Amino acid sequence: MTVRSRPLSPHLQIYRWTITMTMSIVHRATGIANYAGMALLAIWLAAAAWGQEPLNLVNDIYGSWFGQLVLFAFTWSLIHHMLGGIRHFIWDFIIGMEPGQRETLAWANLVLSIVLTLLVWTVFVWMA
């Protein structure tokens, strides 16, 4: 029996990585991360419903350096995912679909998500 060689599909090592490809993957990842972040919110709300002691415990955990890092990443995830949704909404109207425009929107998504996250944390956490 002879085994015929079949053509192999190109894999990720063949493709040249682009910013739009990367932002597509990151958009999916932030969608998944937002589920975990919502669990953090549910835990905080449940602790508040149970009373002051559980709420103080959760606030201490979320207020630690690690908790703050996780909450910062969650804030970025929410903002990045929202901006990715807006980018796709713009594309639904066939706007920004030219090669240079797609990359510009993808870079804007990344840069704006970082800037807006820093702005939110500056105004609502660090200056509060």
The answer to whether residue 48 sits within a structural domain is yes
Q: Does pLDDT of 13 surpass 80?
A: no
Residue 68: give the domain boundaries. Answer: 19-91+98-126
Q: Percentage of residues in the chain with pLDDT exceeding 90?
A: 84
What is the mean predicted confidence (pLDDT) over 36-63? 98
At 54-77, the pLDDT tens digits run 999 999 999 999 999 999 999 999
Question: Per-residue pLDDT for 101 more than 90?
Answer: yes
Write down the pLDDT at residue 10. Answer: 67
Number of domains in the chain: 1
Coil, strand, or helix at residue 81? Answer: helix
Q: Which of 27, 20, 38 is nearest to 85 (CA)?
A: 27
The reply to whether 12 falls in a domain is no
CA–CA distance, 26 with 43 (Å, rounded to integer): 25
pLDDT, residue 6, reads 63
Q: What is the full DSSP assignment across 17-77?
A: P-HHHHHHHHHHHHHHHHHHHHHHHHHHHHHHHH-HHHHHHHHHHHHSHHHHHHHHHHHHH
**Residue 9 pLDDT level (bands cut at 50, 70, 90):** low
pTM: 0.85
Task: Output the CA torsion 115→117→123→125 (10° steps).
Answer: -150
What CATH code is carried by the domain that includes residue 62?
A: 1.20.1300.10
Q: Where does the pLDDT of residue 128 fall: very low under 50, low under 70, confident under 90, or very high at 90 and above?
A: confident
Q: Is residue 2, in this structure, part of any structural domain at all?
A: no
Q: Is residue 114 part of a domain?
A: yes
CB atoms within 10 A of CB 95: 11
| pLDDT tens profile 102-113 | 999 999 999 999
Let me know if residue 8 belongs to a domain.
no
